[in-house]
Structure 1
Amino acid sequence: MTICISFISQKGGVGKSTLARGLAREANNQELTVKVADLDTQQGTIVNWHRRRLDLNYKPIGSVESFKTAEQALQNISHYDLLIIDGPARASKATLDIARQSDIVIQPTGASMDDLEPAILLFHELFKAGIPKSKLFFALSRIGTDSELDACKTYLIQTGYGVLAGCLFEKPSYRQAQNLGLSITETSYQSLNKKADELIQSIVDAIKSE
């Protein structure tokens, strides 16, 4: 049975595509068959990134395609272990459709209240529309310090939604790696790879619990 994981966001630039790429790479390394559906048809972030990856002769992360809707992405997926949906850059009417089709919904958020408050409101909207809280997880991204991480987790845990272990720290090396078609666990620095892997592994653990 194919498990569907979606990455959504209320606003752009919080790490949605970054985490989707990281999960795809790690799942592929664990010998899962992976399909990535890029629903951001205007930017095509993951499609373009995977093209760079292949052009530079790095290992593919699975099948990467662009789709307009979640329904299109869900067609012909029975031979995949994992479908990863990278949602549109900002929340829209399609976000609820994506959430309904997903086993797990992950929303990255930064540490500022400008990021946290809209992210919480989006999950509230999905919950009111019938999406169980058990499917909804926050992933902390673009974090500056350990103390900032702790403060954000304490704040988000009070909402009743899941908060993934670890975080993605704000580091230029992550951007540089992705510019070369690599993922956040493939930087030149093992310490950064390890920190990113903690967050990705917490997503894998959530998948295994399904």
Structure 2
Amino acid sequence: MKTIAFVTQKGGAGKTTLAASLAVAAQEAGETVAVLDLDPQQSLTNWGNDRESDAPAIDYLEPGSISQLPSILTALKGRGYTLVILDTAGIDSTGTHIAMQAADMCLIPSRPTRMDLRATRATYEAAIRMDRPFLFTLNQCPPQPNNPRASEAAQALSMLGMIAEPLIMQRADHQDAFASGLGVTEYASDGKASEEMRNLWTWLQKTMKGKNHGEAIKTKLVG
């Protein structure tokens, strides 16, 4: 079983929307997925309540229960789940650190803006201190061809760690799907947003198996 934690210490990066759609894309690809909502805002839990499908399984962890996360993950593995996605609060907290420590991969979403890029620093530094593998995910990128904002942001983040592929463009399907209690691959299965999400899951799956770049991810602080 693999565990992916979505972590960021700034709101607005699209963390929860990405987590929801990635969970659905992985489920559609054959994984048995559980999603744990560790954010007191419970946005992901509310999304789950709006769904008609029972998969992926979704549960909310009260702040007082997050310390039990390692044993909860062990129990989920015993029940046959192959992937667990953790959606954390957008703050630097003990709960977020517990999630990062328990995860096989920490995904750090960021929009391609200077403010958002700066806000990733505390998160990736925490991952480095805890010796946890992490990836940046550039989200809500301008969809126009050759837009410099996304390429400049990708260049800046690549100096600090690996960037998940592909970049996720800003498309209305993501917000509309989430508002409907759906993953984007369910909402508009033939759309460009769905294609990006399926490709993101395929890339992450290969990366966690050490097949991207020829080896498992190594991370270090540059500068």
Tell me if TM exceeds 0.5.
yes
- RMSD value over aligned CA atoms? 1.9
| Structure 1 equivalent of residue 46 of structure 2 | 48
Task: Give, in whole Å, the separation in 2 of the partners of 1:186 and 1:62.
Answer: 12
Deviation digits for residues 158-181 of structure 1 (CA, Å, limit 9, x no counterpart)? 11x121011222222221111111
Q: Which has the higher strand share?
A: 1
1:63 counterpart = 2:60: no
**Identity between Structure 1 and Structure 2 (%):** 22
* Aligned-residue offset at 1:75: 4.9
* Aligned-residue offset at 1:19: 1.6
8 Å Cα contact 1:111-1:140 kept in structure 2:
yes
* Aligned-residue offset at 1:50: 1.4
When the two structures are superposed, what TM-score results if normalisation uses the length of structure 1?
A: 0.86
Count of residue pairs the alignment pairs up: 200
| Structure 1 equivalent of residue 9 of structure 2 | 10
Deviation digits for residues 120-148 of structure 1 (CA, Å, limit 9, x no counterpart)? 33202331x2324xx11000111114432
8 Å Cα contact 2:22-2:197 kept in structure 1:
no
| Structure 2 equivalent of residue 82 of structure 1 | 83
8 Å Cα contact 1:37-1:86 kept in structure 2:
yes
8 Å Cα contact 2:33-2:56 kept in structure 1:
yes
| Structure 1 equivalent of residue 192 of structure 2 | 191
Deviation digits for residues 7-61 of structure 1 (CA, Å, limit 9, x no counterpart)? 1111112111112111211121122111110001x2211111111112xxxx333
Unaligned runs of 5+ in 1: none
Task: Give, in whole Å, the separation in 1 of the partners of 2:130 and 2:172.
Answer: 39
Deviation digits for residues 86-123 of structure 1 (CA, Å, limit 9, x no counterpart)? 11132223222211111000010011110001103320
1:164 counterpart = 2:161: no
Q: How does 1:94-133 map to 2 (within 5 A)?
A: 94-127=95-128, 129-132=129-132
When the two structures are superposed, what TM-score results if normalisation uses the length of structure 2?
A: 0.81
